Structure 1
Amino acid sequence: MTKADAPKTPLSDFLHSGFPPATKLSEEAIAGPKRFFNRELSWLGFNWRVLEEAENPRVPLLERLRFLSISATNLDEFYTVRVAGLRELVREDVTTPAADGLLPAEQLKLINQNARALMARQQSTFNSLMGLMREKGITIARRSDLTDEDKAHLDHVFLTQVFPVLSPLAIDPAHPFPFIPNTGFSLALQLERASDGQKLKALLPIPHQINRFVRLPAPEGQARFLTLEDLLLEHLTSLFPGYIEKGNCAFRILRDSDLEVEDEAEDLVREFETALKRRKRGEVVRMKITAGAPGVLMQMIKRELRVTDDEIVEVEGMIGMADLRELVLKDRHDLLWPNFSPRVPERVQDHEGDMFAAIRQKDMLLHHPYETFDMVVRFLHQAARDPNVVAIKQTLYRTSHDSPIVKALCEAAEDGKSVTALVELKARFDEAANIRQSRRLERAGAHVTYGFINYKTHAKISTVVRREGDELVTYTHYGTGNYHHITARIYTDLSFFTCDAALGRDATKVFNYLSGYAEPQGLENLAISPLNQKSTLIKRIMREAEMAREGKPAEIWAKMNSLVEPDVIDALYKASQDGVKISLVVRGICGLRPGIKGLSENIRVKSIVGRFLEHSRIVCFGNGHGLPSKKAKVFMSSADWMGRNLNRRVETLVEIKNATVKAQIVNQIMAANLADVAQSWVMGPDGGFARADLSTLDHPFNCHRFFMENPSLSGRGSAGASDVPKLAHSPEERTDLD
């Protein structure tokens, strides 16, 4: 969807005090698959919104460049997984339609049209940003711009940093076309020997290990760069002595990167190591190539890589825009977001950094990145060094290369504590890293398990069992995000700490389920996928509908990354028809169509795209009292409302009963998300998104700025909560904020 296609519904119509006028659809459409919006097109719509942030003049210039890089990275992953999967369905003549009724071949056609428009827009955005960056003293030079000083500098860089890792390859019967890995970037060359005019085709793979942009000498306060491919073209005579270049082009490929693992794999680690090797050799699903490439080179590449015309994108401009992240210069503070330092919760400071003492005082909810993820790390490091701690259990879905979480677990195991780590090998694109971490944990003496072959373990749980007097007390951490200290700086997530015995028992039963396959019985405050989370959500939605039919206030607020599970969507439609007011914050994919008369006129959907990546999953039910309310039913979860999360993963849905934590989630976090205007897009019945014209608003509320500037309720008291704009609350509900 382009800007011109976006619906022009006024954003004011979507404020909490009122819902937009409903759009009519035929009875057949309401009852049939057209009541759903296509998942793949919805994802592309999200990436359009990311790209729009690269065009947003309110965003600092280099952050706009970062958004452009993110949109390119997102699209690469979309092709290597989702598009690759659809191509496989078409190849196998699978004609099962998606929830919205589109066949795999029909989806591929629409994706191709949309994605090509998106890639064209990325190029125009890149050109605009380059013009703005030149005004700020940051340029990408052309070869024709190089001075003698530049060339002398580049000679040194080439010989010392580039030449040793290059492998120039002649292509002839004695030198077959080499294998090029996923995201592989190469130069194809048409050469002629100076001595006798002998023709030669050659390939120059560009190693991932070298930065894409080479810095050039520049006056103070300026930054000049040359692309690596131009550096190589400048030094071809060193790579192919005696040859003259007659033509060249650059190309970059994406391969099918989905993993297949044998169901009866006896050694899961070895099976995944084998599968990772297969991934590197997946079929090409897309190739970008320089527009106007010499015909002889184009034909060679097409033939050797077995790519068809519809898999080729000819590019006039930059290939491999994901690499633009290298140009987000850390020393240009004037072109970046203002520095932000996450807070250490006041209650932890009151207890001089003792996490166990802070948790014993009262349940504690941290809202990352506004409150530092270091508290989660501290929780585990403190446990590792505490002589009273006897056992630690931990799930690991995604971790960083030098994970302080893994380091703490290793330290605890080496100290003789019982440490159990559930490592999810099937975390897409982190499989290899997780294999390394599992081996590291095993060497330290931890018990490492891998959960289920058929289910991914996506739940975020950590338990610490501590001897206190004559008792063993379980301290539990439930999260909505990964135990990844780097992504925690930019992902908005929740961390819930408690020593409530019931929540500790629930967590222990989940770990026993993961290690011993024994289904947990008698969970007290927890629902889990794939057993009962979906049925619990639908039951709560239907209970809210019952409240509406009885004439009681009925309302649902929910926040997630994706919403596509058909049964849950149908439950929301039914609740809307019964009069439940439903407000959804869905960052990415949304298969629900809001604002359709007789189906979803009581549902509104918004997406927030801004400085931080919205990642937390929350759902609040008015429970007969509307929202916000002290009597609401409030849950946090690791799961999006997707088939994979609710049916094919181990996920948690934790009920929050502590009054302070409930107030923080409902009155502060959810209220601010619903009140946000500055970073919000509102979904229309056609699946398109519109944003407010911010130039017409004096002070558009920005929830990210609000959370950075206001302490949360997890500290001391209710500071900040009452500052959420009242437009998030109807007049009769505002007294609950006091």
Structure 2
Amino acid sequence: MNRELSWLEFNQRVLEQAEDRSVPLLERAKFLAISGSNLDEFMMVRVGGLKLQFDRNAMVRDAAGLTVSQQINAVSSRVHEMVARQYDLLRDVLEPQLAAAEIRRVKVSDCSDRAREVADQRFHSDVSAVLSPHAITHDRPFPLLQGLGVHLCVRLRALPEKKPQADASDEAATESDPPVESASESSASSKASTKGTRSTKGASKTGTGKTGAAPSKKAKTAATSDAKSDSASESEEGDSWQFAVIPLGRSVPRLVSMPSERGHDYILLEDLVTHYVEDFFPGREVMECVAFRITRNADVELQEDGAADLVDGMEEVLESRRLSRVVRLEYSAAASDHVVSFLSEVMQLTNQDLYPIDGPMDLSYLFTLHGLEGFDSLRDEAWVPQAHPSIDPAEGLFTTIAKGDVLLVHPYERFDPIVRLVEEAAVDPDVLAIKQVLYRTSRRSPIVAALMRAAERGKYVSVIVELKARFDEARNIEWAREMEQAGVQVIYGIRGLKTHAKVCIIVRREPQGIVRYLHFGTGNYNEATANLYSDVSLLTCNDTLGADATTFFNAVTGASQPLQLQLLAAAPITLRKRILDLIEAE
């Protein structure tokens, strides 16, 4: 079984949730967004890894007997098929149903006069002040674009070349004789006139093209009929156009709300900018404006043997990802051959890497629609996590745990007790030390804040921060530095391994002696995702588990082999065998 193709079938099942008519409409939109974000990560990591492997040794075979080249071909075919299915669903089913439910994606040209005034004001006050075009010339190379961001490629009529100064006799002849157009000038003038009658201000050409289909020569020519009719005269002229790129960035919201009598109308940022694109190029003729998106290889890992400092090494990895090769180009299916050829050539892409999209790129905007207020009937009924019957909010958690172990099942039961445990430990004068492993946290983590507060109060706080948590590396580096400044002892895991354990040890002085209060979990210390993902937490002060947890923690921080654990099992030493033994027993 090939793992890449197997994963794609998993994502197909997510997409099928979006296709399920029994699922509420906005939940279907959310599942479509999830399938899109899943596919983004797959392209960055799995396809990026296959590309690297192809460069190293294309003839290596996987467990299914496929060479790297065969895997790349099979994955490309399956992904193109999946993308086509995603956009068929969005275009033909979800958007019409959302519109019927009064959630409408509109364009400026379709808006009322009042809405157009709002769009004009939004663009000129909020958007044009932020965005900047980047013209591509001989002395201005193609810009370094952010992966997974939506950008615009603008094709402009080339400026006329400056002609040499004419002598006096030529000038006299020019003044006395009537002007005569050359054939090429006539063609260009005719073309400019044609364009003026067929497009609204800044509007990109419209056309059809099958979303996600591998762009064969026929599919790639997804431009409009006027672009096709111009191809002959343009080829006679040579390079009669120039290109520019407008990165849309992330500081301006992708969804621009518009006034409407009922429901919710919105314009996508790329559509708003496209409508006013000529404002960025005064005095120039805009021939085409095309939305596109690139995906960069993120399968760049830290070479730990050669990294003297793990933090510096990981920062180099993050920089390498920013500069890494492009593995996928998504572009509007209405794009002309000229734009597609320009983008694919500058990024050195093959047909397998090209994805014409008949709809909005980057389906993550559907997450925003899912969160709209006033449309509760289009969502699943909200599940409010329940309080655990053994936990009394008026009683300290140390007292509660001392009475007996507490097992919590998230998201059906609240994650609050785990956050509260660390917060209580931070201010409890009898707590001597806190030891914790952090793999992924929330953006404004109350647990990290409590750990820093504990260190500032003089407690012994040790935290293992896993720098290699994919796509959370930058956040973990930032948290690690802030905690170090607060006095927390930060350890960066083990070279060659990821520390994926979720454990917190709180050492407390009590009348009977030192007691270790523990939290073990299957999920991250992230109070936001704990409301979504199914996980289990155990709160205990069991002596044997406390001794095992301390042994494990100190083995990681001390980079040593752990002693024999009595109740716990840890990879890569005993966990695999323990699980296989348990399976065999069943």
TM-score, normalised relative to structure 1: 0.67
* Match runs of 1:303-318 below 5 Å: 303-318=345-360
Aligned counterpart in structure 2 of residue 145 of structure 1, from 68, 91, 110: 110
Residue 148 of structure 2 corresponds to residue 183 of structure 1: yes
Residue 560 of structure 2 corresponds to residue 518 of structure 1: yes
Aligned counterpart in structure 2 of residue 87 of structure 1, from 27, 51, 63: 51
Return the letter of the residue paired with 2:297: D
1:336 — aligned with what? 379
How far has the Cα of 1:84 moved from its partner?
Answer: 0.8
2:269 — aligned with what? 228
Return the letter of the residue paired with 1:435: I
- Greater shift, 132-141 or 241-250, is seen at 241-250
Residue 12 of structure 2 corresponds to residue 54 of structure 1: no
2:435 — aligned with what? 393
1:347 — aligned with what? 390
What SS class does the counterpart of residue 364 from structure 2 fall into? helix
1:408 — aligned with what? 450
Contact 1:248 1:294 in 2 (8 A): no
Aligned counterpart in structure 2 of residue 237 of structure 1, from 269, 278, 295: 278
Return the letter of the residue paired with 1:394: Q
* Match runs of 1:660-671 below 5 Å: none
C-alpha separation in 1, matches of 2:582 and 2:359: 52
How far has the Cα of 1:193 moved from its partner?
Answer: 7.2
C-alpha separation in 2, matches of 1:255 and 1:190: 24
How far has the Cα of 1:361 moved from its partner?
Answer: 1.1
What SS class does the counterpart of residue 448 from structure 1 fall into? strand
Unmatched segments (≥5 aa) in structure 2 = 161-188, 193-239
How far has the Cα of 1:470 moved from its partner?
Answer: 4.1
C-alpha separation in 1, matches of 2:106 and 2:153: 22
2:538 — aligned with what? 496
1:323 — aligned with what? 365
Contact 2:19 2:89 in 1 (8 A): yes
How far has the Cα of 1:479 moved from its partner?
Answer: 0.5
Identity %: 39
Return the letter of the residue paired with 1:141: V
Contact 2:107 2:272 in 1 (8 A): no
1:665 — aligned with what? none
Contact 1:344 1:375 in 2 (8 A): no
What whole-Å deviation, never above 9, does each CA across 1:37-90 have from its counterpart, x for those lacking one?
A: 321112111111111111122222111111101100000000100111111111
C-alpha separation in 2, matches of 1:194 and 1:520: 71
Aligned pair in 2 of structure 1 residues 353, 165: CA closer, same or farther (>3 Å)? Answer: farther
C-alpha separation in 1, matches of 2:477 and 2:18: 36
* Match runs of 1:117-516 below 5 Å: 117-127=81-91, 128-192=93-157, 199-220=241-262, 222-262=263-303, 263-331=305-373, 332-349=375-392, 352-516=394-558
Residue 144 of structure 2 corresponds to residue 101 of structure 1: no
How far has the Cα of 1:448 moved from its partner?
Answer: 0.2
What SS class does the counterpart of residue 380 from structure 1 fall into? helix
Aligned counterpart in structure 2 of residue 71 of structure 1, from 31, 35, 56: 35
C-alpha separation in 2, matches of 1:333 and 1:158: 31
C-alpha separation in 2, matches of 1:501 and 1:223: 57
How far has the Cα of 1:302 moved from its partner?
Answer: 1.2
TM-score, normalised relative to structure 2: 0.84
Contact 1:194 1:242 in 2 (8 A): no
RMSD: 1.7
Contact 2:58 2:69 in 1 (8 A): no
C-alpha separation in 1, matches of 2:415 and 2:395: 14
Contact 1:60 1:336 in 2 (8 A): yes
What SS class does the counterpart of residue 164 from structure 1 fall into? coil
Contact 1:65 1:325 in 2 (8 A): yes
How far has the Cα of 1:282 moved from its partner?
Answer: 1.0
How far has the Cα of 1:358 moved from its partner?
Answer: 1.5
Return the letter of the residue paired with 2:272: L
Contact 1:253 1:288 in 2 (8 A): yes
Contact 2:401 2:540 in 1 (8 A): yes
What SS class does the counterpart of residue 81 from structure 1 fall into? helix
Return the letter of the residue paired with 1:509: T
Return the letter of the residue paired with 1:156: Q
2:3 — aligned with what? 39
C-alpha separation in 2, matches of 1:264 and 1:532: 29
Contact 1:193 1:242 in 2 (8 A): no
Contact 1:479 1:494 in 2 (8 A): yes
Deviating runs (4+, > 6 A) in structure 1? Answer: 193-198
What whole-Å deviation, never above 9, does each CA across 1:625-664 have from its counterpart, x for those lacking one?
A: xxxxxxxxxxxxxxxxxxxxxxxxxxxxxxxxxxxxxxxx
1:536 — aligned with what? 578
Contact 2:507 2:514 in 1 (8 A): yes
C-alpha separation in 2, matches of 1:194 and 1:88: 41
Contact 2:405 2:539 in 1 (8 A): yes
How far has the Cα of 1:376 moved from its partner?
Answer: 0.6
What SS class does the counterpart of residue 493 from structure 2 fall into? coil
